[in-house]
Amino acid sequence: MRKARWAAAAAGVVLLVAGCGSEGGSDKGKGGETPASGSSAPAKAGSGGTLDAAAVKKEIEGAATTAGFAEKPGDEVPAALKSCMVSWQADEKKATDSKKSYETTVAALVKGGWKEGRTLDQQLSVIKTLDKSGWTLKASHHGKAGALQMVTFIATDTGPTCEKLFQEDLAKNK
């Protein structure tokens, strides 16, 4: 059951990346990579100038914990996709104000070189797309204080190798 959820999540992220990615315009040519708040240095680039999953996780974790979040244990990313996908879920109940911590996390990631793309803001849900060095991050905040809330940061490598791995995983889990 868990594997099917990951396959669906991975497919959704791949589709979102393909259909809703930043397409030029205002986020081209802005500053270089600078450390995220709570991070001591910019993430190291992997092969081909892209970040690796460990560096992406470190940036998300550094920004989120500095903003007041603690990581909530969740489902593991399938082994075949670990180099292509990072999932970080906040334990929003431990944050004083999860909405403010979410906004602070996103701001720290932007300061750290992530380029903000599209934002979907509907009543109780906000999903922001950020891009950096071949990775797309979906930062989401759902719910309101005192009710069911969920804050997640899911990043995927948008390169052709990872796209193929996502498609293979999806086909295998149909």
Q: Look up the domain containing 62 and give its range.
A: 51-159
What's the rounded Cα separation, in Å, for the pair 90 and 65? 9
Residue whose C-alpha is closest to residue 53's, from 128, 172, 162: 162
Task: Please compute the mean of the pLDDT values over residues 91-115 and round it to a whole number.
Answer: 93
Residue 8 lies in a domain: no
Angle value at C-alpha 96, between 60 and 121, nearest 5 degrees? 60
Q: Is residue 34 part of a domain?
A: no
d(CA 106, CA 63): 8
Number of domains in the chain: 1
Please report whether residue 28 resides in a domain: no
For the cut 60, the answer to whether the pLDDT of residue 49 exceeds it is no
**In the chain, % of residues over pLDDT 90:** 57
Domain annotation covers residue 23: no
* Domain-embedded: residue 106: yes
Average pLDDT over residues 2-27: 39
Residue 63: its pLDDT value, please?
A: 97
In a domain, 35, yes or no: no
Q: Give the gyration radius of the chain's Cα atoms.
A: 15
- Residue 146: predicted pLDDT: 66
Give residue 9's pLDDT.
45
The structure tokens listed for 164 are 């193929």
Q: Which residue would you say has higher pLDDT here, 23 or 172?
A: 172
Q: Classify residue 105: in a domain, yes or no.
A: yes
Assigned domain for 150 exists: yes
CB contact at 8 A, 50 and 23: no
